[in-house]
Structure 1
């Protein structure tokens, strides 16, 4: 008998229990164990009904994705599901925790399903660039109807037990999975209820068979935000097979779709991103077993855009917040904006109607830095200048309790320098949230020279608690994300001096999959910010300065690199900008040339990758995948391209190094010369991924 799956008999009920920590994933051993135990239960004349359940904290939480891309091991999941479905004895899935992906597909092959009230059920394969490959797209529409099936499969988000009960995915909500499942089987046997094999039940497909718009409208609603992605559309097609074809043919077509996606570059990139996110939570150079300090209350200094967004993130996760401002008026304004944001989300149905009041109750608004005393973590979100930050950290020594972690939400400034303002540099680090902080998932955690390991673990732990993706980085100007972005900014500006127009550059960048191009992003942020900063440093940028001198500050003035009609955020190309660029180039004696889209793409992306190589050389990021996590969750890098360093490996590092050398000569820009690490990897025919593999092996 299997080590990870056991069969026990409670008189006429056979209990099959999967016990493969941590999440009972469907490894070859688990699949084989389920098959063996179901066969044994069917063969045992004393057993009249079967419960399939799991030990530990969850039901089967999905496939073992470490097996993807490797030669398949028997038994195939579909063979296991056929054995369950064809059992002449009732098989009941008793679910707790999460039944996700292959786990839900196992449950769907059972004749009945019950779940505890906290359970979640879903088919999230689309988030890995896949579709369910073991009948999920064929059985789920038969269980809940095509509309909800499309929402669950194309959207990838799970549903709770109450919704599952309402829609016929489960039969009952039970107290304990194994005991509830056993009681349900006994009831089935007593009532002599016939088996329900979903494969044979098309009753919930009838409406969509008669009126296909039920299905197509659901697909249109779920795919409208899927620009550039293959899997959501393939998953929608697969649900359509349930409506259009007999079960076995639909199953065959689903499998073909799955195999095509699993071999695709997009799915490889999305699976890489999945592992990169988990890898980023592991902090290099921290002693094993280092524990987080307790964080029961957070103090946030500053109730502006960033401070308010950070406060919302903590309140969303149920963490009490002391929000501190320098004056009543600023505090009142900040609290009012937070209240409005939550109320707007509740009005759209994004959070329960009572959530705004509950979340506001977790936030205590006060005036004066002396109110930080009961906070375990203090995050300053004050004005982005070194003098102001140092003044704040100097005062924290006086008022923050011993052992409190002191974090700066700076996007550029030197944390080592900030830490020198305190007598407790071991407690100081950076927590760089991205705007809007209550929406964006990334938190760059900046490790300063003297940051204590447990302070670092605390920051990573709390970031994950508030549903952020933490990436630990070192101290340098702009850390990882903004330092790389600065290289793109330099090149985008240079391209205007060579003959490209803002709309051409932005179109190339958005076609690649980024949410915005650099010029539209500049208009959104406000061009006057950079203008003021340049003036402070005595730097000129002829085209950008000319726009600002003409009062074109971006969206807030209705014109920047683009023009914006009243009340609209749509960027419209403006002939006046083209004229202004032409006049500036003529004044500087510059000649325009035709710039190809291919050159624009290379000059937008390759200098960033080059900077990423320098960041790795300097140890600012521990792994190439950490850089990718920063770009995926902080800057909207398309997930189907896996992050800049992953994408660079797919393009080929030799090609990138050669093109950078070419552009360095052509544009007389020595900063484009390939970094030593990039040169070395290119010469050896290696990849950034090979660095990560080598460090793991070491």
Structure 2
């Protein structure tokens, strides 16, 4: 039950927030705090107040249950206005998390005393919003506006020490002294004749140039994200308009963002990420194995990345290679990668040494006898993987989980070679595995609930986003990618150039176009997969057969400058594509950006509908999470399935029919699920 307790310490009123587990600022808690503040103002014996928490967390901010509900008075802004109007000082005693509305509440106080474990953040941008209760106006009046902008734009938390250094907090206190020092601060501030409120100050004009440079950098890094644009304008207002006008601008921007499709997409992505880590309903609550030691088979790019991901999170790792020279190369690859991280400043020398010490290489599978989890990351060939699992069955302990990192092969067929199929599962990491957050957790037909739950928990310990998916060719991500790749090749055959396609895709919001992405990954990877499954892609196949494998050979859809990274248009590619088109009997034509985008994105949605109907994905949001984090789908579009919703299902269905007629490609005909959604108007994605 929500409660606020009031305690008197000498002449200071302590307002204890007590809304477990995170002091979410729902209507009941807001009303209770307001009542306590009003009571303290009326009490002549009270000279000041301290706002504190009964829990190991100050406040996680707004109650998300109220997001789509009619506002209940007092709103957070009304509560903060009442605190602002108090003639008596208020000090925030901040322990643990102080996020969003919790920090805006603290900013309305006269001072903030923090512990070293405090974490202060305004993460509203992650929801496609900006702080809506004065954060954009008070924060740049309290600390350097450029730093305030960065804090709000990243949503990343500042530690207690960082908060004091930046001016966000007034002093650091030991946990056991927090309340005493906050009380003393309130008594000291009470000696002032007038409260010194942030609303009565203005941002330092001498910091304007630094702010504008920071703003320009942000806009370049976040194209198309409305909350960043609105945030910059709001903070700029702290230089240009009085506080009350700045507050009105903030409110207008907040309300505009609430109904903006891009902002809705960002909120959908946020909640879809939270939901994706939940186990599918049919799994229940099984026992989770305590994974302490890990084995990885294969020391190539993927295997090395997986080993680094585990080592960075405290797991001892044994990396198996085929022979000693290969094992040494794998170790050297890892050491070099960690050294590069040190040079970039993303890793300390101490952490590098500790991570490297957790990884040992070996060639004897017997070294895996004590491992709780073994992940195979060998070549994408069924015979190779089955041979490895057959060997593992003879050496690992019966309780060990066996995972394959395959990106599209049949997990059940691999499991047959591993003995107990209940302990076999897919863990499809994305490259580079030590950086990319996504892991497709592929449940086989016989994979046990305990195995699934354990792997999900382990992935979360690595800081990954695990998404449980069913076993089919390509699972979710690569199965949808195959549909897009088919259309890419058709577009190139029919008249589009790689430049046309990539230009349209970056205009849609992606950082890289499909052709640039293909060159980066290596065109031979998908070529091998097509050969193994009897599929063809005339243009992409011709490029590989001409030795154009992408960046690693300096030539693919583009040729690459001396730095090996900068794509340059290549007339040879144009000539090659035209020759393939002629051989295929395809008449080339001009294709505009709208058609390019629709033919690349709408078939993905169509395939997503098939995946949902088949139960391969538990939720449409899972597909969106996979495509945002595994394939760079623009976050502010919400993922392919949510994009279908914002565009309107009837419009998607009509356009797919139109494209099928235009191209003669019957695979573009809309799936029954999309037809049904277009008819009844129901949503497959949460608001």
The TM tier, using the shorter chain, reads over 0.9
Whether the aligned pair in 1 keeps the contact of 2:320 and 2:365 (CA below 8 Å) is: yes
**Which range moves more in the overlay, 418-427 or 662-671?**
662-671
**Which range moves more in the overlay, 418-427 or 364-373?**
364-373
> CA separation in 2, counterparts of 1:536 and 1:313?
30
Consecutive unaligned residues of structure 1, counting only runs of 5 or more, are: 694-698
Note closer, same or farther for the CA distance 1:530–1:446 as it changes in structure 2 (3 Å cut): closer
Query: Cα distance, 1:57 vs. partner?
Result: 3.3
Q: What do residues 650-670 of structure 1 show as CA deviations (whole Å, max 9, x unaligned)? A: 112222222223333333322
1:461 aligns with 2:460: no
Aligned counterpart, 2:197: 197
> CA separation in 2, counterparts of 1:437 and 1:224?
27
For residue 588 of structure 2, the aligned residue among 592, 599, 620 is 592
> CA separation in 1, counterparts of 2:259 and 2:542?
50
Whether the aligned pair in 1 keeps the contact of 2:41 and 2:87 (CA below 8 Å) is: yes
Aligned counterpart, 2:210: 214
Q: What do residues 370-396 of structure 1 show as CA deviations (whole Å, max 9, x unaligned)? A: 111222211111111111111111122
Equivalence map 1:136-285=2 (5 Å): 136-176=135-175, 180-186=178-184, 188-189=186-187, 194=192, 195-202=195-202, 205-206=203-204, 209-210=205-206, 212-285=208-281
Whether the aligned pair in 2 keeps the contact of 1:18 and 1:53 (CA below 8 Å) is: yes
> CA separation in 2, counterparts of 1:603 and 1:447?
31
Query: Cα distance, 1:290 vs. partner?
Result: 2.5
Query: Cα distance, 1:287 vs. partner?
Result: 4.9
> CA separation in 2, counterparts of 1:587 and 1:644?
34
1:669 aligns with 2:665: yes
Query: Cα distance, 1:679 vs. partner?
Result: 2.2
1:39 aligns with 2:35: no
> CA separation in 2, counterparts of 1:17 and 1:285?
38
Query: Cα distance, 1:69 vs. partner?
Result: 3.7
> CA separation in 1, counterparts of 2:638 and 2:528?
36
Equivalence map 1:378-417=2 (5 Å): 378-417=374-413
Note closer, same or farther for the CA distance 1:548–1:74 as it changes in structure 2 (3 Å cut): same
For residue 649 of structure 2, the aligned residue among 648, 653, 657 is 653
Equivalence map 1:603-682=2 (5 Å): 603-682=599-678
Q: Secondary structure at the match of 1:272?
A: helix
Q: What do residues 356-411 of structure 1 show as CA deviations (whole Å, max 9, x unaligned)? A: 11221222232322111222211111111111111111122222122122111110
Whether the aligned pair in 1 keeps the contact of 2:551 and 2:560 (CA below 8 Å) is: yes
> CA separation in 1, counterparts of 2:393 and 2:555?
45
- The aligned length equals 685
Whether the aligned pair in 1 keeps the contact of 2:470 and 2:617 (CA below 8 Å) is: yes
Query: Cα distance, 1:439 vs. partner?
Result: 1.4
Aligned counterpart, 1:696: none
TM (norm. structure 1) is: 0.94
Aligned counterpart, 2:99: 100
Whether the aligned pair in 1 keeps the contact of 2:266 and 2:637 (CA below 8 Å) is: yes
Q: What do residues 603-662 of structure 1 show as CA deviations (whole Å, max 9, x unaligned)? A: 101111111111111110111111111111111111111111111111122222222233
Q: Secondary structure at the match of 1:306?
A: helix
1:338 aligns with 2:334: yes
Note closer, same or farther for the CA distance 1:50–1:538 as it changes in structure 2 (3 Å cut): closer
Whether the aligned pair in 2 keeps the contact of 1:154 and 1:223 (CA below 8 Å) is: no
Q: Secondary structure at the match of 1:283?
A: coil
CA RMSD for the aligned pairs?
2.1
Aligned counterpart, 1:82: 81
> CA separation in 2, counterparts of 1:628 and 1:471?
11
Q: What do residues 156-207 of structure 1 show as CA deviations (whole Å, max 9, x unaligned)? A: 2111111111122222222227x512333235526865354222244xx33x
Q: What do residues 247-291 of structure 1 show as CA deviations (whole Å, max 9, x unaligned)? A: 222222222221211221111111111111111112123454323
Consecutive unaligned residues of structure 2, counting only runs of 5 or more, are: none
> CA separation in 2, counterparts of 1:444 and 1:287?
16
> CA separation in 2, counterparts of 1:637 and 1:649?
15
> CA separation in 2, counterparts of 1:466 and 1:196?
45
Query: Cα distance, 1:85 vs. partner?
Result: 2.6
Q: Secondary structure at the match of 2:559?
A: coil
Whether the aligned pair in 2 keeps the contact of 1:11 and 1:46 (CA below 8 Å) is: no
Q: What stretches of structure 1 move > 4 A for 4+ residues in a row?
A: 190-193, 532-540
Aligned counterpart, 1:127: 126
Query: Cα distance, 1:585 vs. partner?
Result: 2.3
Q: What do residues 323-379 of structure 1 show as CA deviations (whole Å, max 9, x unaligned)? A: 222222222222222222222223222233422112212222323221112222111
Aligned counterpart, 1:500: 496
> CA separation in 2, counterparts of 1:128 and 1:5?
29
Q: Secondary structure at the match of 1:687?
A: coil
Whether the aligned pair in 2 keeps the contact of 1:280 and 1:626 (CA below 8 Å) is: yes
Q: What do residues 201-252 of structure 1 show as CA deviations (whole Å, max 9, x unaligned)? A: 44xx33xx13621211122333331122111121112111112222222222
> CA separation in 1, counterparts of 2:369 and 2:611?
37
> CA separation in 1, counterparts of 2:188 and 2:517?
66
Q: Secondary structure at the match of 2:599?
A: helix
Note closer, same or farther for the CA distance 1:663–1:217 as it changes in structure 2 (3 Å cut): closer
> CA separation in 2, counterparts of 1:568 and 1:377?
37
Whether the aligned pair in 2 keeps the contact of 1:155 and 1:222 (CA below 8 Å) is: no
Aligned counterpart, 1:511: 507
Q: Secondary structure at the match of 1:17?
A: strand
Whether the aligned pair in 1 keeps the contact of 2:137 and 2:235 (CA below 8 Å) is: yes
**Which range moves more in the overlay, 75-84 or 660-669?**
660-669
**Which range moves more in the overlay, 484-493 or 53-62?**
53-62
> CA separation in 1, counterparts of 2:14 and 2:593?
62
Equivalence map 1:545-624=2 (5 Å): 545-624=541-620
Query: Cα distance, 1:412 vs. partner?
Result: 0.3
Q: Secondary structure at the match of 1:224?
A: helix
Aligned counterpart, 2:425: 429
> CA separation in 2, counterparts of 1:275 and 1:444?
18
Whether the aligned pair in 1 keeps the contact of 2:144 and 2:207 (CA below 8 Å) is: no
Query: Cα distance, 1:537 vs. partner?
Result: 5.6
> CA separation in 1, counterparts of 2:506 and 2:684?
25
Equivalence map 1:354-365=2 (5 Å): 354-365=350-361
Aligned counterpart, 2:7: 8
Note closer, same or farther for the CA distance 1:221–1:517 as it changes in structure 2 (3 Å cut): closer
Equivalence map 1:15-30=2 (5 Å): 15-30=14-29
For residue 372 of structure 1, the aligned residue among 368, 373, 381 is 368
TM (norm. structure 2) is: 0.95
Equivalence map 1:286-297=2 (5 Å): 286-297=282-293
**Which range moves more in the overlay, 117-126 or 82-91?**
82-91
Whether the aligned pair in 1 keeps the contact of 2:441 and 2:468 (CA below 8 Å) is: yes
